[in-house]
Amino acid sequence: MQSIYEIQQFLKKYGTIIYIGDRLADLELMESELKELFQSQLIETKEYQTALLLLRHEIQLEKDKRK
């Protein structure tokens, strides 16, 4: 996974569509959903780590933008 869009499409495969309207909240909710999938052993460690790294980077960028 190399983009937020790819993470959204990945989550969609598991029946999760996230759109709150607030980008930061969307990203944080995606992180939470990924964590639940990983803890349920539905996704591989590598997929989880890659997606988590990308999400956390985007979350930080969004927080910096709001300062």
Angstrom distance (rounded) from CA 63 to CA 67: 7
| Domains held by the chain: number | 1
pTM for this model (two decimals):
0.90
How many whole angstroms from its chain centre is CA 8? 7
In tens, the pLDDT along 14-60 reads: 999 999 999 999 999 999 999 999 999 999 999 999 999 999 999 99
Q: For residue 22, what are the CA distances in angstroms to 16, 40, 66?
A: 17, 27, 12
Give the domain range for residue 38: 4-66
Q: Which residue has the tokens 């999760």?
A: 16
60 with 52: CB under 8 angstroms? no
CATH number assigned to the domain comprising residue 40: 1.10.287.760
